[in-house]
Amino acid sequence: APKESAVQSSGSAAAPKSATIRIGTMAAPDSLPLYVAQQAGYFKKHHLNVKLTAFKSPKERDAAIAGGQLDAAVSDAVALSTYVNGQLGFKSATALTGYFGIVTSADNVKSVADLKGQAIATMPRQTPTFYLDQQLAKAGLKDTDVAIKEVAAIPVRLQLVANKQAAATILPDPFLSMAKAQGLKVIAQSDPAQYQTTLLAVDRALGQNQAVMKRFYQAYDQAVKTINKHHASDYQALLTKQLGFPAKIAAAYQLPHYQAAQAVPTKTLKQAFAYAHQTGILKQAVDASDYQLQVQ
Amino acid sequence: MLTVSHLGVAYAHQQILEDVTFTVGPQEILAVLGPSGVGKTTLINAICGQQAHTGTVTLAGQEIDPQRQQLALVPQDYGLLPWLTVAANVGLPLRLRHAAANQQVMAMLEALGLTPLAKRYPAALSGGQRQRVALARAFVAQPTLLLLDEAFSALDPVVKQTAYALFDKQWQATPAPTLVVTHDWEEALVLSDRLLVLAQGHPHLMKNALADLPRAQRVHAPAYPQVLADLREAVAAQWAK
Amino acid sequence: MLTVSHLGVAYAHQQILEDVTFTVGPQEILAVLGPSGVGKTTLINAICGQQAHTGTVTLAGQEIDPQRQQLALVPQDYGLLPWLTVAANVGLPLRLRHAAANQQVMAMLEALGLTPLAKRYPAALSGGQRQRVALARAFVAQPTLLLLDEAFSALDPVVKQTAYALFDKQWQATPAPTLVVTHDWEEALVLSDRLLVLAQGHPHLMKNALADLPRAQRVHAPAYPQVLADLREAVAAQWAK
Amino acid sequence: MGKVKMTAVALVLIHAAWAVAALVVHQAVLPTPWAVYAYLPQLARRQLQWHLFFSLYRLGWSMVIATILGVVIGIACVRLPRVGRVLDPLIYLTYPLPKIALLPVVMLLFGLGDGSKIILITLIIVFQVIIGVRDAVRQIPASVYQGVAVMGASRWQTLWYVTWPASLAGLFSALRIALGSAIATLFFTEVYGTEYGIGYLIMDEWNRLDYLGMYGGIVVLAALAFILFAALGALEAWSSRWRRSA
Amino acid sequence: MGKVKMTAVALVLIHAAWAVAALVVHQAVLPTPWAVYAYLPQLARRQLQWHLFFSLYRLGWSMVIATILGVVIGIACVRLPRVGRVLDPLIYLTYPLPKIALLPVVMLLFGLGDGSKIILITLIIVFQVIIGVRDAVRQIPASVYQGVAVMGASRWQTLWYVTWPASLAGLFSALRIALGSAIATLFFTEVYGTEYGIGYLIMDEWNRLDYLGMYGGIVVLAALAFILFAALGALEAWSSRWRRSA
Ligand SMILES: Nc1ncnc2c1ncn2[C@@H]1O[C@H](COP(=O)(O)OP(=O)(O)OP(=O)(O)O)[C@@H](O)[C@H]1O
Ligand SMILES: Nc1ncnc2c1ncn2[C@@H]1O[C@H](COP(=O)(O)OP(=O)(O)OP(=O)(O)O)[C@@H](O)[C@H]1O
Ligand SMILES: [Mg+2]
Ligand SMILES: [Mg+2]
């Protein structure tokens, strides 16, 4: 049988002998710089042979990490705490540019504070819920003030809210944009310039290879720079094919301002780990900074 | 009265029975003789509606319909249900009619020496025992049409006599048109009133010269050896054609 | 030479055969008679190793082992494989020994009038046809031990004579110790050298008074009616006990 | 009691294989049996009985509904040939549909509670029961029906005296297959709208990458499955006593 | 050609039910058949043939491996009673294990490519084949073996002349069940490490909330499944010619 790469239109040609990095990506704007760096040849230029593997859900991504099939993965702060729990040896390298929004279909919900007593569809013990918790806290609510409906699959969550079987849910893009397109209200959205919970997790070997990491960051930063000079309209193919944007949504999409490679703010990471400890993911308190790599 | 007219059966382009016409009186027993593979079983199956055929079969003037007429058949392979005990198999025709079965079944089992086997399943029986269960099932049904397809072939001579006697008794009590398929000339003479000899799909009716004697006495009749020899000759002549 | 000594079989707490001891000479045919359910089939199955038993069975001095000795059995229910055609069923014993089968099979089918059925599956055969296929399969195997369990019971008198003659011919060509289970006194007299009468699990050996005559001539022997009557009486006496 | 002994042998084998694999892989993904068993008491304290109860509740209902539907439809497919000729292609067209894709529709119609879970499990396994029963019924030779037909059995009597007993072994085989599928399906139905169920427990532990807890849950699940299979086996043995004398 | 006609009837029925449901629900989650069919050409332009090819490739290998393993193990369970007594509990203990939980281990051993997908599908369906074959072999009455045993058949000859033909119908029934499961499993194996496959296509469309595309994929999948089922049926009809004369 032909190899899939032979069929793929965007198959990469044989790279020069260089460091190979296997990265798991998610269908979200967070992964865009990786794809741009790949497509524009930035990785190759920095003698990195990067292999991107797309995942549809965190579950399979984490299985691939646990199965030793990935050197790095687009992940998030709470997921990182599960890697700690699972002793996978992954650490946080750079923060990625990603964001969440809380959407609602309830007419009487105008702000986060109005969520009191409402049903919220989410998957507890994951980063979106961590974000929700923080937003609730800001609005003076506790997580017991809302009724959590546990639903793993994001499209189902969106559907539940659209059908008014739940009042609100927390979504990343592209689902956030799709929700907006369906007429759902966004009552809160995180700003990637200040609040970053998605990150690139890397395994021990890669994390310790500072030379390679350095080249990686250079390629990444170059991609970020390039993206920030362009508009979503320049990345329609990537957005629709790799990042899961429906064509219509992609056309109307506004790219966030991408951040150069930088460590996740230690404070955010610590909060996430504290959340992980509090929800039972981490059996004991863990110092988050032990799982954070410096970004030079 | 059973009326079979212009009955024909074909399997996959091969005509087995053709234009078979005969009647069996309401109180008559017809023995069916014929070489192996001539179509005796096929005839029986066609009569009781289990085989597609041309022509018509009527019982007491009505088309045969097992749901409205009480038929009883002892198939060549006994046709017992493996998941029912001997007693349940024998009682089945009564149960299907929502009639009480127990007492009659037990009496019939006793008469055929099957009482100790009442609670066994057919798989744990000998060939002859299975055949007797099938006979008991047919007798207990008090049918309006009785069809026996080589129904005594697996019995030893002693038990066979008992079975003949029982058959006679049951039949006298509730006579019905009856077909007895057999390969045994003696059985034909002892049980039947008339003989139907099948040869190459065509029927030939013959008288049973002993038909006027009570069944139990026929073997002992002085004419018996001669009648048997004559029958043998006549039938052989039919088949040879 | 087949030696059966102290053979015993019990099903679920019921002793069917007990201390059965006899021998069958290397060129001898033993007829096995006994009332229905006495254990004839059980005896046959025990001999060919298909039924757990006590005591021993040896053939030519060795324990019976179907993989090393060539046994042939016509079971009471014919035992044909439904997924093999008639020809394939008959040729099976040869095929299992990796021997060429075609020619012998065809000759045997011809002899039993089965040639037009060679490509049929057993389900499309009449009872007697199936039995003839089973006979052909046993004859073609040229066995060192032949076991026939009511193997002629479904045949019409004419075909039965052909089958007897064929059996005689085959057996003369490659004689082997043979057991013929039958309910038919005449069959026993015509085919066998000696008789084994089973009564309540115990064996009684009897001579066949016609054993010295060639098989084909026995029915016509002047002594035949008398011998038959004697046998009938003797056996009935045994069973009555 | 050879059966008990052999089950013990099987248990030893499976644990040995597991232990060897765990020692070879030597990663948190695959903990050793002893580590998992040592963790079990801790797991038990986490309302294990309620997790078991809810899973059993959902399994039980799905199996009952799937059995009833499967038997009725499976038999109808064969015994009512006209119905069958329409149902057969219907089954082949709908069986392999991704039930996960139906999730939104099922949720829309039945909500997030046990109702939609039971419906979903049923949707997955009912086809297996239908196909198993149908194929078993199809294999009953016509000659078996002939006897009761001549005796004048009605449709229902034929069903009761022939079709049902003759296809029972096939039904049990199908139920075994369906039971395994149903249990495996818990991991896909108990991930929404519930905090109880063995499936939930395992997935939750997995989401935390808590492999000890996850394997603990799996061990409990395997034990549960084994008991259910044994129960099915006992039921079958009882209902097919007549085979034993063959 | 009553079969073709009835299949047409089934198709009409299924589409009618779908249309009614779509009109009643009246939401994007459940588009109408005509909307979906109108969308199909668009879907076809998206390398549908390669999606089909890769799914078939994975399905094919899994079915082949599962059939071989299933037949061997299923027969061994019955014909080698000692083996069977150990294998039976092993099967009951491992069948319902959540294969999804084995994902990391499978990935560890077989990577992210087709290998791990094929193994995963095989792991899910092989038990269904084993159980189906085993139960079919178990049902063969001892008397069927007797004939060839007396003729001195070796173990292999017995297998070839009795066990295999007698359990073939059961095997096909099991394969039908397994095929359905295998197809349904694509949605769970084609969501990682690939961009081709009908399962991938459907999940991808679902994640874009593109229900037209999703249902289009489902329609294609149903057609594929129907063809595969028909092929299995034809194979079975051919291999059990002897039943036809009954
Ligand atoms: N599986 C079984 N379990 C219990 N009893 C059995 C079983 N099989 C046979 N029997 C009994 O063993 C006895 C001998 O059976 P067998 O089949 O050997 O009789 P037979 O002499 O061949 O009779 P027939 O002439 O009717 O064929 C019978 O009484 C029968 O009921
Ligand atoms: N399903 C079938 N397909 C084709 N031919 C068949 C089928 N069933 C029976 N036959 C043929 O029909 C003929 C009549 O069969 P039938 O069983 O009626 O014979 P029979 O007279 O009862 O013979 P026997 O005395 O051997 O039982 C036989 O030649 C047989 O080969
Ligand atoms: Mg017949
Ligand atoms: Mg017998």
Chain segment A208-235, per-residue pLDDT in tens: 888 888 888 889 998 998 888 888 888 8
Tell me the backbone φ, ψ of residue A78, rounded to 5 degrees.
-70, -40
Nearest-Cα distance to chain B for D163, in Å, is 11
- Cβ atoms within 10 Å, residue A10: 13
What's the CA-to-centroid distance between C57 and ligand 1, angstroms? 20
What residue ranges do the domains of chain C occupy?
2-240
Structure tokens belonging to residue A219: 């390629």
Point out the residue among A66, A150, A152 whose CB comes nearest to the CB of D209: A66
Report how far Cα E155 is from the mean position of its chain's Cα atoms. Answer: 30
pLDDT, tens digit, for every residue of C187-205? Answer: 999 999 999 999 887 788 9
Predicted pLDDT of residue B144: 94
Q: How many CA atoms lie within 13 A of D156 on its CB side?
A: 2
Q: For residues A266 and A254, what is the distance between their CA atoms, to the nearest angstrom?
A: 28
The alpha carbon dihedral of B54, B59, B61, B62 has a sign of negative
Neighbours of ion ligand 3 (CB under 5 A): B 40-41, 76; C 126-127
**Which residues in chain A have Cβ-Cβ distances shorter than 8 Å to E103?**
59-60, 63, 67
E204:A56 CB<8 A: yes
Burial readout A77-98 (b: 16 or more C-beta within 10 A, e: otherwise): bbbbbbbbbbebbbbbbbbbbb
Ligand nearest B12 Cα, by number?
A: 2
Q: Do C66 and E151 touch (CB under 8 A)?
A: yes
Q: Which of E30, E45, E195 to probe by mutation at the A interface, max A CB count within 10 Å?
A: E195
- Contact with chain D for residue A149, Cβ under 8 A: yes
Residue D29 near residue A86, CB atoms below 8 Å:
yes
For residue range A36-69, list pLDDT tens digits in order: 999 888 888 888 888 998 888 888 888 888 888 8
Residues of chain D neighbouring B123 (CB-CB closer than 8 A): 242-243, 245-246
Contact D222 E9 (CB under 8 A): no
Q: How far apart are CA B227 and CA A130, in angstroms?
A: 106
- Cα angle value D111/D114/D118 (rounded, 5°): 100
| Rounded-to-integer distance, Cα E192 and Cα C150, Å | 67
Q: Hey, is C20 helix, strand or coil? A: strand
Q: Give the residue, by CA position, lying nearest to ligand 1 atom 28.
A: C37
Q: Name the phi and psi angles at C25, rounded to 5.
A: -65, 160
CB distance E225 to E217 below 8 Å: no
Q: For residue B174, which amino acid is it?
A: T
Distance CA D141, CA D148 (A): 13
Residues of chain D with pLDDT under 70: 1-2, 245-246
Check if the beta carbon of residue C3 is closer than 8 Å to that of residue C54. Answer: no
Phi, psi of B151, deg, nearest 5: -85, -5
Residues touching ligand 2 (Cβ under 6 Å) are B 11-12, 16, 34, 36-42, 76; C 124-129, 154; E 245
Residue nearest to atom 23 of ligand 2 (CA): B37
Q: Is C11 in the pocket of ligand 1 (CB under 6 A)?
A: yes
**Predicted confidence (pLDDT) at residue C163 exceeds the cutoff of 90:** yes
Q: For residue A11, is pLDDT > 50? A: no
Positive/negative CA dihedral, E181, E184, E186, E191: negative
Nearest to A96, CA basis, from A30, A32, A42: A30
Cα–Cα distance, C163 to B162 (Å, whole number): 29
Q: Which residues contact E12 (CB under 8 A, 6 or more apart)?
A: none
Ligand nearest to the CA of B183: 2
In tens, the pLDDT along C91-105 reads 999 999 988 888 999
CA-to-CA dists, residue C47 to C22, C29, E144, angstroms? 12, 15, 18
Ligand 2 pocket: which of B42, B179, B239 to mutate (most atoms <8 Å of CB)?
Answer: B42
- How many whole angstroms separate alpha carbon B191 and alpha carbon B208? 10
- The residue written with tokens 């049409």 in the block is B145
Which of helix, strand or coil describes residue B107? helix
Interface mutation target, options B41, B77, B130, B156, chain C, most CBs of C under 10 Å:
B156
Looking at residue A260, what is its pLDDT? 86
Which helix (H) or strand (E) covers residue C71, if one does?
A: strand C71-74
DSSP sequence for A180-238: HHTTPEEEEE--TTT---EEEEE-HHHHH-HHHHHHHHHHHHHHHHHHHHS-GGGGHHH
Q: What is the DSSP letter of B51?
A: S
Measured in degrees and rounded to the nearest 5, phi and psi for residue E213 equal -65, -40
The whole-model pTM stands at 0.91
* Residue with the larger pLDDT of the pair B207 and E2: B207
The conformation of residue C61, written as its DSSP 8-state character, comes to T
Between B73 and E102, whose confidence is greater? B73
A residues 108-127 closer than 8 Å to D (CB) = 123, 125-126
Tell me the range of A92-101, A228-237, C122-131 where mean pLDDT is highest. C122-131
- Residue E236 near residue E229 (C-beta atoms within 8 A): no
* pLDDT tens-place string over residues E207-218: 887 888 888 998
Query: Which chain C positions have a beta carbon within 8 Å of B76's beta carbon?
Result: 127, 154
Which chain C residue shows the shortest CA-CA distance from E169? Answer: C83
Given this model, what pLDDT does residue A7 score? 54
Beta carbons of E242 and C123 less than 8 Å apart = yes
- Alpha carbon distance C56, E195 (integer Å): 70
CA distance A253 to D48: 47
Name the residue with higher pLDDT: B217 or A12.
Answer: B217
Q: How confident is the model at residue A5 (pLDDT cuts 50, 70, 90)?
A: low
Which range (B61-65, B133-137, D94-98, E131-135) has the least confidence? D94-98
Can you read off the two tokens belonging to residue A67? 């199965």
The arithmetic mean of pLDDT across residues A250-261, rounded, is 88
Q: Where are the beta strands (DSSP E) in chain B?
A: 2-11, 14-24, 29-33, 54-59, 62-63, 71-74, 145-149, 178-181, 194-199, 202-207
CB of C13 closer than 6 A to ligand 1?
Answer: no
Question: Are C154 and B11 a contacting pair at CB < 8 A?
Answer: no
Select from B212, B215, B214 the least CA-distant residue to B190: B215
Strand partners, B32: B181, B196
Adjacent-strand bridge partners of D56 = none
pLDDT in tens, E34-49: 999 999 998 888 888 8
Beta bridge partners of C178: C29, C146
Interface with chain A: mutation pick from D112, D120, D186, highest number of A CBs within 10 Å: D112
Best probe of the D interface among A57, A83, A160, A284, by most D CBs < 10 A, is A160
Look at residues C194, C238, C207 and name the one whose alpha carbon lies nearest to residue C38: C238
**How confident is the model over B162-188, as pLDDT tens digits?**
999 999 999 999 999 999 999 999 999
Cβ–Cβ gap A55/E210 under 8 Å: no
| Minimum distance, in Å, between the CA of residue C143 and any CA atom of chain E | 9
Sign of the Cα pseudo-torsion (B75, B78, B79, B84, in order): positive
Instruction: Answer whether B125 contacts ligand 1 (Cβ < 6 A).
Output: yes
Distance between CA atoms of residues E61 and E56, nearest Å: 8
| Chain D neighbors of E77, CB-CB under 8 A | none
Residue nearest to atom 22 of ligand 1 (CA): C41
Q: Could you tell me the CA-to-CA distances from B145 to B3, B29, B59, D158 in Å, in that order?
A: 11, 10, 8, 21
Chains near C, with 3+ CB pairs < 8 A?
A: B, E
Q: Choose among B117, B112, B125: nearest CA to B82.
A: B125
Q: Which residue of B has its CA nearest to C34?
A: B156
Q: How far C99 CA sits from the closest chain B CA (Å)?
A: 31
For the segment C211-237, what is each residue's pLDDT rounded down to a tens digit?
A: 899 988 998 999 999 999 999 888 888
Beta-sheet strand order (sheet of C2-11): C14-24, C2-11, C54-59, C62-63
Ligand 1 lined by B128 (C-beta under 6 Å): yes
Closest-CA residue in chain D for A155? D104
Residues of A in Cβ contact (< 8 Å) with E46: none
Please list the alpha-helical segments (H only) found in chain D. 2-25, 33-44, 48-79, 81-94, 99-110, 114-138, 142-150, 155-158, 164-189, 198-207, 211-239
Q: Do chains E and D touch (3 or more CB pairs under 8 A)?
A: yes
Q: Is the Cβ–Cβ distance between C108 and C92 less than 8 Å?
A: no
Q: Using the structure block, give the residue that is written with the tokens 């039976």.
A: E88
Q: Residue C117 gets which letter from DSSP?
A: G
Domain at C2-240: CATH architecture = 3-Layer(aba) Sandwich (3.40)
Pairing state of beta strands B29-33 and B14-24? unpaired
- What are the residues facing C179 on neighbouring strands? C30, C147
Q: What is the pLDDT of residues C36-92, one digit of tens each?
A: 999 999 999 999 999 999 999 999 999 999 999 999 999 999 999 999 999 999 999
Q: Which residue of C has its CA nearest to E160?
A: C96
What distance in Å separates residue E142's CA from the closest CA in chain C?
10
Do residues B55 and B6 lie in contact, with contact meaning Cβ atoms separated by under 8 Å? yes
Q: Classify D181 as helix, strand or coil.
A: helix
